[in-house]
Amino acid sequence: MLLRHTPEESAERAALTINPAKTCQPVGAMYAALGIHNCLPHSHGSQGCCAYHRSALTRHYKDPIMATTSSFTEGASVFGGQANLLESIQNIFTIYDPEVIAVNTTCLSEVIGDDIGQIINKAQAEGKIPAGKRVIHANTPSFKGSHVTGFANMTQAMVQYLAEHTGKPVRQFNILPGYVEPSDMAEIKRLVTELGIQAVMFPDTSEVVNAPLDGKFHMYPKGGTKVKAIRSAGDSSLTIALGRTASLGAAKLLDTKCKVPFEILDLPIGLQATDVLIDTLRKAAGVGVPETLMAERGRVVDLATDMHQYFYRKRVALAGDPDQLLSLTQFLTDLDMQVVLVVTGTPVGGKFERRIKELTGEGTVIKAGLGGDLFQFHQGVKRLRPDLLFGNTYLKYIARDEDIPLIRVGFPIYDRVGHQYFPLVGYQGALRLMEKILAALLDRQERDAKEECFELVM
């Protein structure tokens, strides 16, 4: 249903969300779990919940997402799901033989109050977990947080259950990539490799949800971070956590549990954020920046300079995940574009709003957490009349109704491909993002041009 009847006037709402700018925690937890090699995500709740989580990821990546469920019925809903989970663990290892089962909870199991840690210990004591296999879990109730929160909680679980501090330092860094696409994770690894640095990145969904088609069925694709590598993260010299919302919790836990210091950086979207990542890695490892990366950076500066007149003073509105919104805002303002509206459905603290205001000034409208939904975003778009929208597939209805071009970024993207294969992070990602922006702006300029102004050369 299109949204043409959305009013411009906005009323403050304290306990109502209309068309939320997020999805639920288990989706993010399932995505993170897929970033462990030979891991099978498990949804502790009803079959319907697991079906939705799998469907959301399958539609986004155009790849079948493997996951199992505790299949709650009325009995489990009343008396708890311990028996279901114990039987599930035994069946999963017997039939599917994963190396790791990653359990995420749902609303139902959270309301009941199932103690997943105790159930896992019971399964271990009863011999339901084979030698050398692991079961980890994250509490991910859908009635709080968002898919980013669920991703963060499952990443923390990887540290809690798998990372170990042996006292023998390893000359490597930990990279926590944040909630980004598999293409972005592959690009981050490439940048680290170009610098000649040894690192362990987790989770890592590259070569998992964007694996090539070779005519054979692979229950567990070749990608994902191996358990051995995650275990070694406790002996690394430094953790680089990308994105405060998605990665800070795991970085802090690594510091507390294994005494690995950490640095929190923005997602490396755009020139400045990528510069900070490269510079941080360079200084920490004591290496130089290779000419290949300097050339990549130079191409970003060249394109931004050549096409500056098309970016200049264009007004943009953003909706999505907080970590991506911060880096996007930084990059767009660096291009001399005006960010007039920022909306996220993920609960964030006051630091998010302060950072946005530092980058854009006091005039930007910011809505976050319970106050951030796509109904309010649409109302803001009606009032502020931006030239471009940035966000996921759900914004296409607003874009159509208001006749404003949409740049698809974030999660979910159901109606386009490319996000799983082409990165938005790093210098290569900055080039791609600028190309997408320019294509949208110039397509609109040509569509609206008078006959005498329709030029061959821009």
Residue 39: name the closest of 114, 120, 93 by CA: 93
- For 17, 40, 380, the CA distances from 384, given in Å and listed in that order, are 21, 45, 6
Omega before residue 261 within 30° of 0, cis? no
The answer to whether position 12 is within a domain reads no
Could you count the other beta carbons within 10 Å of the beta carbon of residue 167? 8
Residues 435, 424 contacting (CB under 8 angstroms): no
Residues 341, 380 contacting (CB under 8 angstroms): yes
The residue type at 32: A
Residues 236, 170 contacting (CB under 8 angstroms): yes
Question: 432 and 326, same structural domain?
Answer: yes
Question: 348 and 218, same structural domain?
Answer: no
Tokens of 333: 């303002």
Q: Which helix (H) or strand (E) holds 341?
A: strand 338-344
Alpha carbon distance 103, 328 (integer Å): 32
- Give mean pLDDT, residues 85-114: 96
How much is the pLDDT for 15? 81
How much is the pLDDT for 13? 80
How much is the pLDDT for 449? 92
pLDDT, tens only, 402-435:
999 999 999 999 999 999 999 999 999 999 999 9
The residue type at 90: Q
How much is the pLDDT for 12? 79
The answer to whether position 5 is within a domain reads no
Alpha carbon distance 142, 285 (integer Å): 40
The answer to whether position 156 is within a domain reads no
Question: 320 and 258, same structural domain?
Answer: no
How much is the pLDDT for 369? 79
| Burial (CB count <10 Å: 0-12, 13-18, 19+), residue 350 | exposed
Tokens of 145: 């947080």
pLDDT, tens only, 3-58:
677 888 888 787 888 899 999 999 999 999 999 999 999 999 999 999 999 999 99
The answer to whether position 390 is within a domain reads yes
Q: How big is the CA angle at 405 (ends 321 and 27), to the nearest 5 degrees?
A: 25
Rg (CA), the chain: 23
Task: Look at residues 290, 307, 339 and tell me which one is the last residue of a structural domain.
Answer: 290
Residues 56, 27 contacting (CB under 8 angstroms): yes
pLDDT band at 249 (very low <50, low <70, confident <90, very high): very high
- Give mean pLDDT, residues 253-281: 98
Tokens of 51: 């079906």
Task: Look at residues 290, 315, 341 and tell me which one is the last residue of a structural domain.
Answer: 290
Question: 371 and 430, same structural domain?
Answer: yes
Question: 90 and 220, same structural domain?
Answer: no
What domain count does the chain have?
3
The CATH number covering residue 42 comes to 3.40.50.1980
- Give mean pLDDT, residues 193-209: 97
pLDDT, tens only, 355-405:
999 999 888 999 987 778 999 999 999 999 999 999 999 999 999 999 999
The answer to whether position 14 is within a domain reads no
* DSSP for 2-69, written as a single string: --TT--S-----SS--SSBSS--HHHHHHHHHTTBTTEEEEEES-HHHHHHHHHHHHHHHTSPPP-EE
For residue 20, give the DSSP letter.
B
Q: Which helix (H) or strand (E) holds 398?
A: helix 396-402
Residues 321, 410 contacting (CB under 8 angstroms): yes
Residue 221: name the closest of 129, 98, 329, 121 by CA: 98
Q: What is the mean pLDDT of the chain?
A: 95
Least confident of 2-6, 49-53, 189-193, 208-212: 2-6
Q: Is 336 left (phi over 0), alpha (psi -120 to 50) or beta?
A: left
How much is the pLDDT for 2? 54
Place of tokens 């964007």: 210
pLDDT > 90: percent of the chain? 90
The answer to whether position 17 is within a domain reads no
Quick check: 1 pLDDT over 60? no
Question: 183 and 249, same structural domain?
Answer: yes
- Give mean pLDDT, residues 51-74: 94
Residues 198, 237 contacting (CB under 8 angstroms): no
- Give mean pLDDT, residues 84-104: 97
Domain span holding position 263:
173-290
Q: Is 252 helix (H, G, I), strand (E, B) or coil?
A: helix
Question: 268 and 350, same structural domain?
Answer: no
Distance of CA 418 to the CA centre of its chain: 16
pLDDT band at 77 (very low <50, low <70, confident <90, very high): confident
- Give mean pLDDT, residues 146-154: 98
Distance of CA 421 to the CA centre of its chain: 15
Tokens of 35: 């970033």
Question: 322 and 376, same structural domain?
Answer: yes
Residues 388, 236 contacting (CB under 8 angstroms): no
The answer to whether position 417 is within a domain reads yes
How much is the pLDDT for 118? 97
Question: 407 and 318, same structural domain?
Answer: yes
- Give mean pLDDT, residues 62-84: 89
Place of tokens 């923005």: 266
Catalytic residues, which ones? 107, 111
Quick check: 310 pLDDT over 80? yes
Looking at per-residue pLDDT, the higher value among 299 and 3 belongs to: 299
Question: 303 and 422, same structural domain?
Answer: yes
Question: 329 and 184, same structural domain?
Answer: no
Question: 344 and 441, same structural domain?
Answer: yes
Task: Look at residues 121, 151, 181 and tell me which one is the last residue of a structural domain.
Answer: 151
The answer to whether position 7 is within a domain reads no
Alpha carbon distance 141, 105 (integer Å): 6
